[in-house]
Structure 1
Amino acid sequence: MNADAWTTLLLAVLGGAIRVGTPFLFVSLGECLTEKSGRINLGLEGVLVLSAMAGFGGAYLSGNVWLGVLAAGASGALLATLHGLLCSLPRVSDIATGIALMLLGTGLAFYFGKPLIQPQAPQIPALALGAWSASPQVQTALSVNALFPLGVLLAGLMAWGFTRTRWGLVVRMAGDSSDAARALGYSVHGVRIAATAAGGFIAGLGGASLSLYYPGSWNEGLSSGQGLIAVALVIFARWSPWRCLGAALLFGGAGAIGPALQSVGITAGYYLFNAVPYALTLLILVLTCSPHRSLKGAPVELAVSR
């Protein structure tokens, strides 16, 4: 390839990293908040699919894309709250409940989303950050989902909040030492339910990004396992919101390699390149499987650290 082709390829990967990585960003931030409180939510795939359907349906029925985004966040919060309430019962497993909620969320989305497969809903606007350039490639690469800056801001607020605010200290205390939290008069179950619900709302914004921006429609294969990948992303990011941002862009870039190569005329192995995010997930899990490295930074009360 010549220099122009390489430039086009790199810009396509950059634009794809932001476009594809935005849902990963919101879902991983939501799971980071949940796990910081000492609870794991494997039902994120159900949250993501249900919120994508609810967001698309809300935007389609109301004609307002931002009402659709709120509907997506609310549906994610409701399903996550159910997970939090069930996990607060005695002898209930976070893992088993998460799998059950994943099946419930996807089932509800498929059932209620049947009438939404054909219609078109209003779309989340794009921010033209590349308007300064005369290059169409730069303009396309820097045409950013309007929710992406919100995700970056949210990552910064969460990182600041975990270290500098009372609520952040309480969430981390519930995740690191439930006995200490109780001794200070806090309800561990209440903190975890609130963190799980808030995490579900944040993950729901990722669902809105899927159905209302990229690919911008509702269908039953929309998620492609991104909710489950996000759980691995949080472990890879060592439970750090800023690292969740980097990991989301990394996975987004991996998912954009296939379309980027196709944009410069390379079509051989296209479907193989589409499998890169899943292969990357397996590779990361293998490379971080050491009990000393993979759990560094993990909340002590989290199920995976026991």
Structure 2
Amino acid sequence: MSGGELFIVLIAMLGGAIRVSTPFMFVALGECLTEKSGRINLGLEGNLVLGAMVAYAGSYSTGSPWLGVLMAGCSGLVLGAMHGYICKLPKVNDIAVGIAFMSFGTGLAFFFGKPYIQPTAPRLEAIHLADWSGDPLVAQALQVNPLFFVGIALAAFMAWAFRNTRWGLIVRMTGDSAASAKAMGVSVDLVRLLATSAGGFLAGVGGAFLSLYYPGSWNEGLSSGQGLMAVALVIFARWDPIRCIFAALLFGAAGAIGPALQSVGISQGYYFFNAAPYILTLFIMIASARSKSAAREVPGELSIVK
């Protein structure tokens, strides 16, 4: 590979990392908030897919992609609230409910989304950060959607709030020790319901990015399991919102390897490189299972049994 081809591959991977990481980012931040409160929500894949469909339908119906984003977030919030309410009932398992809601959200999206597979909806506009460079490759790679910056700002706010606000302390205390939270007069069920609802909202917004920006259409194979991979991403980030951003970029870069190599005519092993995010997820889960640091930082109330 020549120096020019290497430059093209690196630029393509940079642009791909930014684009592909954005939905990972929102779902991971939503799951991070949920797990910080002591609850696991494996159903965010359903929130993501339903959010993608609702965003596309909302943008097509109203002519405003940003209204579509808001509607997508609201659809995720509803699923998150339903998940949170059911999980507070006695002898209900978070994992089982999450799997059920993953299928439920996906099924709703497929059922109600059929009329929107063909029509074209208004899409989110990108911010052109590198038009000044005069290089079309760099300019195209650095066309960044505003939601990417919203995700970074949100991660910074969450990290600050967990450390410096009363609400952040309550969420962390609820996730680490429900008994301590109850002793302080905190309603554990309410905190987890609100955290799960907010996490669902963020996952819905991540879905809006998929249908309204990249790849920018609605179809039934849109997500490719990104909601489930984001759960592994949160473990890899050790429940830290800032680390979630870097982990999402890492996943995004892994997903961009195949298209980047294809852009310089390297097609051998293309499908293997397309599987890179899934391979990375597997290695992350194996490494996290053996990590003493991750075991120390996991919220104390997280468990597959009650």
Aligned 8 A contact 2:56 2:217 in 1: yes
Displacement, 1:289?
Answer: 1.4
Calculate the TM-score normalised by the size of structure 1.
0.98
Which residue matches 1:176? 176
Aligned 8 A contact 2:42 2:231 in 1: yes
Q: Output aligned runs, 1:53-72, within 5 Å.
A: 53-72=53-72
Cα distance in 1 for residues equivalent to 2:153 and 2:22: 13
Q: Which amino acid aligns with 2:169?
A: L
Work out whether 1:292 is the aligned partner of 2:292.
yes
Aligned 8 A contact 1:43 1:100 in 2: yes
Which residue matches 2:164? 164
Cα distance in 1 for residues equivalent to 2:291 and 2:137: 44
Cα distance in 2 for residues equivalent to 1:201 and 1:97: 18
Calculate the TM-score normalised by the size of structure 2.
0.98
Aligned 8 A contact 2:93 2:304 in 1: no
Cα distance in 2 for residues equivalent to 1:171 and 1:304: 19
Which residue matches 2:91? 91
Q: Output aligned runs, 1:1-306, within 5 Å.
A: 1-290=1-290, 292-303=292-303
Displacement, 1:103?
Answer: 0.7
CA deviation profile, 1:131-184 (whole Å, cap 9, x unmatched): 221111110111111100000000000000000011100100110111111111
CA deviation profile, 1:26-79 (whole Å, cap 9, x unmatched): 000000000000000000111110111011111111110000000110000100
Work out the percentage of aligned pairs sharing the same amino acid.
63
Give SS of 1:217's match. Answer: coil
Give SS of 2:144's match. Answer: strand
Aligned 8 A contact 2:94 2:304 in 1: no
Aligned 8 A contact 1:37 1:191 in 2: yes
Q: Which amino acid aligns with 2:259?
A: P
Give SS of 2:242's match. Answer: helix
Over the aligned positions, Cα root-mean-square deviation in angstroms equals 1.2
State the number of aligned residues: 306
* Greater Cα shift, 180-189 or 104-113: 180-189
Cα distance in 1 for residues equivalent to 2:288 and 2:180: 30
Displacement, 1:293?
Answer: 3.7
